[in-house]
Amino acid sequence: MPNVRIRNGAIGDWGGWGIYSDTNADFFTIEDVVLELNGMGGVKLGPKCRAETVCVSECGGDGMVLGEAATVINCKVTDNVGTGIVAGSKSCVISTVVANNGGDGIFTDTNSTIRDCTAMGNVRNGVFCIASCRVLDCNIGDNGKSPPGAAGISLNGPGHQIKGNNVTANQIGIFASPMTVGIWIENNSIIDNGIGLQIHGMANFVVRNCIGTPVVTNGVHASVAPNNHSAKVLNDLGISFTNSNPWANIRLTPE
């Protein structure tokens, strides 16, 4: 059932999925649709699908489950029992809000891009990526308060680029698992997290981040395992912002 398009409607109070397609049904498009209070979940689509300006809320499972090479743009996925968005490999999630979901905010498989998204108040990780993903210019906060080890951005494999994000008030700001190799974490604002950076793995590159943790909770600014390439965490630079420390990570609160 390829090349199906659903536009301009609302689907709610079903016992199953709001919209469901077979996993072999590709090029399925939904636009300007509202899905709420569906028992099993909001949307489940196959590969090469597209969801644009779709709102999914208060569904009994995941908000959106999408096959590989999916595109999600300008959507809002909130208050679902499971994960907000689960996207297959080679997918792209752009300018989308995921908030107050019972699992992760956004879960992506390999070689995916998440850009200009807002992930707030999700029970587990705000964003969880498997391998070779890009997370760019997102606002990610207040995630991972209940399960131990959850983070604003959680990385589970090699090859990620994490740049230009605002990561605030999560249990852990940015977490890189022991499976990570060659990830690039740069120019992120990592503020008021229980732990700012927790980097395992090896040969990861961590530079030019601004880190501040709450003093009253004895927060840890950065925990970086050996064999990674992390610039020094400096504070009280004053007039010392010069070319002599262009790669430094900056600490905003005392140790």
Domain edges within the chain: 1-102, 120-255
Q: Report H helices in 61-116.
A: none
> Which tokens sit at 213?
């943790």
Residue 236's pLDDT is what? 60
Q: How many CB atoms lie within 10 A of CB 15?
A: 8
Q: pTM for this structure?
A: 0.95
Q: At 81, give phi and psi (nearest 5°).
A: -65, -40
pLDDT, residue 241, reads 58
CB-based contacts of 250, cutoff 8 Å, min separation 6: 209, 210, 211, 233, 234, 235, 237
Angstrom distance (rounded) from CA 211 to CA 195? 10
Q: How far apart are CA 116 and CA 72, in angstroms?
A: 12
Local structure of 238: helix, strand or coil: helix
Q: Token digits for 94?
A: 């752009």
Q: pLDDT tens for the chain, 255 residues: list them.
A: 567 999 999 999 999 999 999 777 889 999 999 999 999 999 999 999 999 999 999 999 999 999 999 999 999 999 999 999 999 999 999 999 999 999 999 999 999 999 999 999 999 999 999 999 999 999 999 999 776 789 999 999 999 999 999 999 999 999 999 999 999 999 999 999 999 999 999 999 999 999 988 876 678 888 999 999 998 888 765 555 555 677 888 888 776
pLDDT at residue number 23: 73
